[in-house]
Chains A and B, each alone.
Chain A
Amino acid sequence: MNWILLIEQCLNGIQLGLLLFLLAAGLTLVFGIMDLVNLAHGSLYMVGAYFAATFTAWTGSFVLAIVLTLPATLIVGAVVEIVCLRSLYNRDHLDQVLATFGLILFFNELVRLVWGPAGLSVPLPEFLSSSLELLPGLIYPSYRLAIILASLAAAFFLYWLVARTRIGMLIRAGASNREMVGALGINIRFLFTIVFGLGAALAGFAGLMAAPISTVEIGMGENVLILAFVVIVIGGIGSIRGAFVAAILIGLIDTVGRAFLPDVIGTFFDDEFADAAAPALASMSIYLLMVVILAFRPEGLFSAKSG
C-alpha cells in the first residue's frame, strides 16, 4: 500500500465531502425547519456557479466575485421562497417534490436563455493556481486546500450561527416546534425567508467553489443534488451535525472506492472483470451505504432533535 497515495486520496475525499456538506447544510436547514423538500436546491448551486463565472468575468477577480455571488444567490433564494415556495409549506412532501421539480426545469431553461447553451469557465485566482508539497512526495493543489479551509470556515460559521446567536436560537426552536415560535410573536414568515436565503447562499457558495474545478453548465446541479440528498438522509434530516458527518463519510467512500476498488477487485478476479465491475460498484457504493444505514436506522444517523 502506498501511504502517500492513501493520504492524498483521503484529502480528496474530505474535500469532496466538505463541498457536499455546504450543499447539504442548506438543504437540511430548509428541510428541518420548514419541512420542505427542495429539489431545486441543485439549481441554486448551478445559479451560484453561473454568477461566479459572470462576476469573475466582469470584475476580473475571483475574490470580488465571491463577495458579489453570496448576496446574489441569497436574493435569488429569497425571491424563489416568496414567489413560489411559501405556499408549499403546508403541503405534503409529494407536492413539494413536484413543484420544485418544476422549478428545476424552469431554472435550467432560464439559464440557457440567459447564458446560452455553452458551458462557462471560471479561471483560478492566480495565488491559488499552484500546488503545495504537504509531505515529502505529497503534492496537493492549493485551490483544493482552499476549498477545504473555506468549507470548514463556513461550517464553523454555521455552527456559531445556529448554536450561539439569537437567530440560531429561533432556527432551532422553529425546527422543534414551529407553531410555538409563531405563537411567541416571532415573524415566522420572515424567519423562513431568511433561512431559505441562507441555504441558497450556502448552495451558491458550493457552486462558486466548485466552479473553477468543474464546468459551469446547465444541469450541473442535478448530479450533486442527489448526492446532497443522500448526505442529509444518512445524516438524519434537519441535523447539521449529521449532515457534516455523513458528507465526510460519503466523500471518503466515493473517492477511496474509486481509487482502490479496481485494484482490490483485480487481486481477486481477472482484470477484465475488474475493469467492468469496479466502476459500477464504485458508483453504487454510496447508495448501498445509504440503504444499509436506513435499514438499521430508519431516521438516519443523527435525529434532528440533537441539532
Chain B
Amino acid sequence: MISIRYGFIAFVMIALAAVPTVAVAIDEPFYVSMFTRMLVMAIAACSLNLVLGYGGMVSFGHAAYLGLGAYVVGIGFYHASNDGMEWALNGWMHLALAIIIPGLVALLVGAISLRTRGVYFIMITLAFSQMLYYFFIGLERYGGDDGLSLWFLSDFGGVMDMNDDVHLYYLSYGLLLLILFMLYRLVNSRFGMVIKGAKSNERRLMAVGFPTYRYRLVAFGISGAICGVAGFLMANQSEFVSTAEMHWVHSGDLIVMVVLGGMGTLFGPVLGAVGFLMLEQYLPEMIRGGCEVIGGNDCGVAGEYWKIVFGPLLIMIVLFARGGIDGLLQGKVGRNG
C-alpha cells in the first residue's frame, strides 16, 4: 500500500508543478490562480499541522497569522501609495516581516495559551484571533472592514514579478517545497521527537527532564511564522487584504484541511488543502449536474446548497476516515486509522 501512497503524492506534486504549463497550453489562465490558492492554503495547512498534527495543540486561531502575513503586504502598499514611501513595497522586506511578525505574535499567544489544556487551549487561541480580528476592523486607516485593494504588489526588483500569475505560482510552489523539506527535517529531529512525545505523554517527557513547555512554544512560534508566509502569498495572489480572512470560520476551514488530508503526516495538509478547495469549486457543479440527471427543477439554484452535502461529508470523514486522504492511501479505513 505504501507504494500507492507515495505514488499518489508524487503524482500530485508533479501535477502541481505542471499546472502553469498546462493552463497556458489549453488557454485557461484561470487555473493558475485557482491552483495558486491551493498552494497558499497548503502552506497554511502545513503550518497548522505542525502544532495540530504533530504536537496535538488544537489551535483554533490560525487564520489570524494568515491575516497578519497578508496585512504586512497591505500596510506596506498603503504607505507606499499614500505616503510615497516606495521602499515599503520591497518584496524581500515583506517576506521577512511576514515571517517575523506572525512568528512573534504566535510566540506571545503561545506563551499564554500553552499554560492551558484541551478545550481551554482551543478557546484561548480562538479568543486571541478574535481580538486581532476586531483590532484590524477598528484600524480604519488600513481599510477596516473594507480591507485594502492592492494596486501594487510586493516588488522583487528584476527577480520576479508578482503581477505575473506564473511567477507567483512558482514562488508559491517553491516555498511549499522548501517548507515541506524544513518540516521534514524538523519533525524527525530531536526537537520533533519531543513535540510528538509531548502529544502522547507530556508528563513522562517532563519527568525525563525535557522542558516541554519551551519546546511546544517554539513549535507554536514556527507554525505562526510559516502561516505568515502563506498570508504574504495570499495577499499577492488575491491582490486584496481584508479582515474577512481572519474570521474564526476560516480557522475552522484550516483545521478541516489538515484533518481532511491527514493529521501528523508530511503531505497530508497539502492533499487536504487541494481536496478542500477542489470540493469548494466543483461540489456545486456536481450537485447541479446530479440534479439535472434526476430531472429536478431549478438545478441552477440547487448548486448553491452545496454545503448541505459538504457538512455531512465532513462528519463522515471524522467518523469513518480518521486518517484523512493520506490515511485512505495507506489503506487505513475506520475509526482509529
A-side residues, CB < 8 A to B, are 31, 37, 84, 87-88, 91, 93-95, 97-99, 101-110, 112-113, 222, 226, 229-230, 233, 237, 276-277, 279-281, 283-284, 287-288, 290-291, 294-295, 298-300
Contact = CB atoms under 8 A, between A and B. Distances in A.
Residue from A88, A105, A113 having most chain B Cβ neighbours under 10 A: A105
A99 B116 CA distance: 23
A279 B137 CA distance: 10
B137 A280 contact: yes
Given A284-B134, A284-B135, A109 B308 contact: yes
A93 B255 CA distance: 12
Contacts of A84: 315
Interface residues on B, range: 35 or more
B126 interface: yes
Nearest to B137: A280
Given A98-B315, A112-B305, A298-B117, 11 more contacts: A88-B318, A88-B319, A104-B311, A105-B308, A229-B123, A277-B138, A283-B138, A284-B130, A294-B116, A299-B116, A299-B120
Contact of B307 (A106, A222, A298): A106
Interface string B109-144: 000100111111011101110110011011110000
A112 to B, nearest CB: 7
A8 B288 CA distance: 53
Contacts of A287: 127-128, 130-131, 134
Contact of A230 (B115, B123, B310): B123
Contacts of B115: 294-295, 298
B256 interface: yes
Contacts of B118: 93
Grouping DSSP codes into helix (H, G, I), strand (E, B) and loop, the B interface class, with mixed when no group exceeds half, is: helix
6 contacts: A103-B315, A105-B307, A105-B314, A106-B307, A283-B138, A294-B115
A288 B122 contact: no
Interface string B294-313: 00000000000101101111
Interface string B52-74: 10000010100000000000000
Contacts of A105: 307-308, 310-311, 314
A136 to B, nearest CB: 38
A103 B118 CA distance: 21
A94 B259 contact: yes
A98 B318 contact: yes
A294 B111 CA distance: 12
A299 B252 CA distance: 23
A105 B305 CA distance: 10
B52 to A, nearest CB: 7
Contacts of B131: 284, 287-288, 291
Given A91-B318, A283-B134, A284-B131, A110 B308 contact: yes
A18 B60 CA distance: 27
A220 to B, nearest CB: 14
B169 interface: no
Contacts of B319: 87-88, 99
Given A105-B307, A105-B310, A97 B123 contact: no
A6 B121 CA distance: 35
Contact of B128 (A37, A97, A291): A291
B312 A290 contact: no
Contacts of B267: none
Contact of B311 (A102, A233, A276): A102
Residue from B58, B124, B307, B318 having most chain A Cβ neighbours under 10 A: B318
A217 to B, nearest CB: 16
B248 interface: yes
Interface string B240-258: 0000000011001001100
Contacts of A113: 305, 308
A107 B131 CA distance: 27
B58 to A, nearest CB: 5
Contact of B138 (A91, A276, A291, A299): A276
B312 to A, nearest CB: 6
Contacts of B313: 102
Contact of A233 (B123, B135, B139, B307): B123
Contact of A291 (B112, B135, B252, B259): B112
Given A99-B319, A113-B305, A291 B311 contact: no
A279 B138 CA distance: 7
Contacts of A112: 305
B122 A97 contact: yes
B126 A226 contact: yes
Given A31-B119, A229-B123, A290-B123, A102 B138 contact: no
Nearest to A278: B138
Given A98-B255, A276-B138, A298-B116, A109 B127 contact: no
Contacts of B112: 291, 294-295
B170 to A, nearest CB: 33
Contacts of B311: 102-107, 109
A290 to B, nearest CB: 5
A102 B58 CA distance: 17
A22 B85 CA distance: 53
Given A93-B122, A99-B315, A290 B127 contact: yes
Contact of B314 (A98, A279, A283): A98
A109 B307 contact: yes
A237 B119 contact: yes
A226 B248 contact: yes
B318 A99 contact: yes
The 6 closest A-B pairs by CB, nearest first: A280-B138, A102-B314, A106-B311, A105-B311, A109-B308, A283-B134
